[in-house]
Amino acid sequence: MKPVKSSPPSWLAELTQITGPDQTLSSLPELWAYARDRLPYATYMVRDGNLPARLPSAVACPADVDELRRVIELSRREKIPLIPFGAGSGVLGGTLPMDHELVVDLKRMNQVIELNTLDGTVTVQSGMNGGQFEAWLNERGYSCGHLPQSLHMSTVGGWAACRGAGQNSTRYGKIEDIVLGLAALLPDGRELRVRPVARRAVGPSLKDLMVGSEGAFGIITELTLRVWKLPEARHSVVLGFETLKTGLDALRQIMQAELRPAVVRLYDAAESAPRGASVGIGEGRPFLAILEFCGSPRMAALERDLAMEIVAAHGGVQLGDEPYEHWCAHRYESYSPQWQSKDYFMDTIEVTAPWSALPALHARIAREMQSLFPGIHFGTHWSHVYPEGACQYMTLRLPPMERSEGLRLHREAWHLTLTACLDLGGTISHHHGVGVFRNPWLREELGTGLELLQGVKDYLDPDNLFVPGKLALRAREGAVNLEHIHHE
């Protein structure tokens, strides 16, 4: 049954006074537009005309911190649960309304406040679009180094809230390494400011209390990030390896040799085949890798040459440039709509594991996926690498089938993947975050740590108004419980 809109909330007129009639949305199409993010489960529901969870009660688009503060005051007084909304590109259901929350869209708070070229920092409002932010910096000769595939469909605040990673993270770090300081409004309306300094020793990191809190602890309004001069040179190499093990070993040794490639991508055989066909991947060397080094011409060339010595010692050979050029041309495109619109059940799952665990982790998940459904497409790449381990990024795709069966297999695929990850010493997310979909496994991973987070949440937000029920924190009574999809 299609949901119909219930009567307007009693506080809507007051909200409209705060954000204005044009920036307070409450029509049915507008509420539907904010009833989902890029969580694949939500797509499976919406494409059949179903609501994934609930409609929001309304959508408010504050112009500035003052309006946002007044929205929060209203929420506190009227006990209105709310969800900060960046661009809705999250893939774990973080912005999904579970209890008719008020959605607070931050995209109008989109100004660069200051570029400080002496300190190498930029301060920006959290609602700024990622692509526009990076373009603004590029025009001035800088980059913040955070270039997620979703660059043009996400906000700077969303990057920090989800603890995201860009495609150049191996050189520039994840967002938690790039954020130096921030401002946020807490659920009681107070402002938390963390000074933008290089390092500090003033107790546990309050910055990290907010970075990754997915809106549950406060709304980030402003961020100060590191910036870097645009590199003068980029040197890319496309490689073929005989085995996955030699490819992984080469990447590990490159990182342990303290080299800092900007881009590192190693693909398993399933992902290498389509990407490397033009350069002969599959003829004795079925594993494709792409590396890019950047910086000053001499340093980038030296790092490339040192890396190539390690590659050669592992039997890797250099191939033609086409796979790198193709990747560059399409690096910010989204592939899922072409499959989801044809009723496939597609999803991606990214985890982190130590080098010692990665080969077994990949082999176990690949094997269990095939047992689950022999026709499944399962492909993997490793694209954010560290001296100690790497992110394993997996894509799964099930063909069109009865929705209940597709959902069952999709759920099983998640379960076997994250169970293997936890069994082998990994963490269940490298950069997409938790949202609502990863709740069951986060409990298992954090154990006592989750009780600590719940304690912080209870202190900051005693009425459980900010993004309730996400990040494995307590849900509101009467809210939709999406966990049934894990247990059916």
Ligand X SMILES: Cc1cc2nc3c(=O)[nH]c(=O)nc-3n(C[C@H](O)[C@H](O)[C@H](O)COP(=O)(O)OP(=O)(O)OC[C@H]3O[C@@H](n4cnc5c(N)ncnc54)[C@H](O)[C@@H]3O)c2cc1C
- Pick one of 362, 432, 438, 457: the residue that binds ligand X (CB under 6 A): 432
349 binds ligand X (CB under 6 A): no
User: Would the annotation count 218 as a binding residue?
Assistant: yes
For residues 69 and 77, what is the distance between their CA atoms, to the nearest angstrom?
A: 12
Do residues 25 and 59 lie in contact, with contact meaning Cβ atoms separated by under 8 Å? Answer: yes
For residues 95 and 328, what is the distance between their CA atoms, to the nearest angstrom?
A: 30
173 binds ligand X (CB under 6 A): no
Letters for 188-227 (x = contact with ligand X by CB under 6 A, - = none) are --------------------------xx---xx-------
For residues 25 and 135, what is the distance between their CA atoms, to the nearest angstrom?
A: 30
- Pick one of 40, 52, 56, 86: the residue that binds ligand X (CB under 6 A): 86
User: Count of alpha carbons within 13 Å of 215, Cβ hemisphere only?
Assistant: 32
Tokens of 383: 């694209």
> Which one, 316 or 435, has the nearer CB to ligand X?
435
> Which one, 71 or 250, has the nearer CB to ligand X?
71
> Which one, 40 or 276, has the nearer CB to ligand X?
40
Closest distance between ligand X and the C-beta of residue 69, in Å?
Answer: 14
User: Would the annotation count 254 as a binding residue?
Assistant: no
Tokens of 110: 């989109």
Nearest to 442 by CA among 421, 456, 468: 421
87 binds ligand X (CB under 6 A): yes
Please report, for residues 34, 149, 252, 267, 312, the alpha-carbon distance to residue 239 in angstroms, rounded to integers and kept in the order given: 43, 22, 15, 11, 10
User: Would the annotation count 114 as a binding residue?
Assistant: no
Name the strand (E) or helix (H) holding 85. Answer: strand 82-85
159 binds ligand X (CB under 6 A): yes
- Pick one of 53, 346, 467, 482: the residue that binds ligand X (CB under 6 A): 467
Question: Helix 439-446 and helix 403-423: axis angle, to 10°?
Answer: 10
94 binds ligand X (CB under 6 A): yes
144 binds ligand X (CB under 6 A): no
Do residues 435 and 93 lie in contact, with contact meaning Cβ atoms separated by under 8 Å? Answer: yes
Residue with tokens 């990076």: 134
> Which one, 100 or 470, has the nearer CB to ligand X?
470
75 binds ligand X (CB under 6 A): no
- Pick one of 161, 180, 308, 475: the residue that binds ligand X (CB under 6 A): 161
Backbone angles phi, psi at 12, to 5 degrees: -60, -40
For residues 326 and 293, what is the distance between their CA atoms, to the nearest angstrom?
A: 17
- Pick one of 164, 187, 212, 406: the residue that binds ligand X (CB under 6 A): 164
37 binds ligand X (CB under 6 A): yes
Residues that bind ligand X (CB under 6 A): 37-38, 83-91, 94-95, 106, 126, 148-150, 154-155, 157-159, 161-162, 164-165, 214-215, 219-220, 334, 431-433, 467, 470
Residue stretches of the annotated binding site: 214-220
